[in-house]
Amino acid sequence: MLMLLDGPAAEAAEIIAAAHRDAQEIIRVARSEADSIVSAARQRAAAGAAERVQEAVSAARIEAESIRAAGASEAAAIQERARQRLPALTDRAVALVRDLGKPAGPS
């Protein structure tokens, strides 16, 4: 009776061993695929981060140019106001100097 079971037991052991090998191969392939997916995701994330940094730098450059242009415009407006006021300030300065040479009135 035991001899009759030896054949099926050996066959079952081979099936179990083959299933174990197949499972190990499936695990190896799955790990390899998972590693590839993780690597690709990291590369995409790094590329995305680099792109966001480039976008931020571009935006900062645009804002800096806008600030510079606004500053230049404000400086030009101040220069124009000073140019317009200069004759009146000159006239006041001349009048003050003339007044310094006049004798003081009765106190």
> Is the pLDDT score of 83 beyond 80?
yes
pLDDT of residue 107: 55
Whole-number pLDDT of residue 18: 95
- What pLDDT score was predicted for residue 103? 73
Return d(Cα 32, Cα 24) in angstroms, integer.
Answer: 12
SS3 63: helix
pLDDT in tens, 36-55: 999 999 999 999 999 999 99
What pLDDT sits at residue 91?
A: 87
Residue 22's pLDDT band (cuts 50, 70, 90):
very high
What does the pLDDT average to over 64-93? 93
User: Does 21 score more than 90 pLDDT?
Assistant: yes
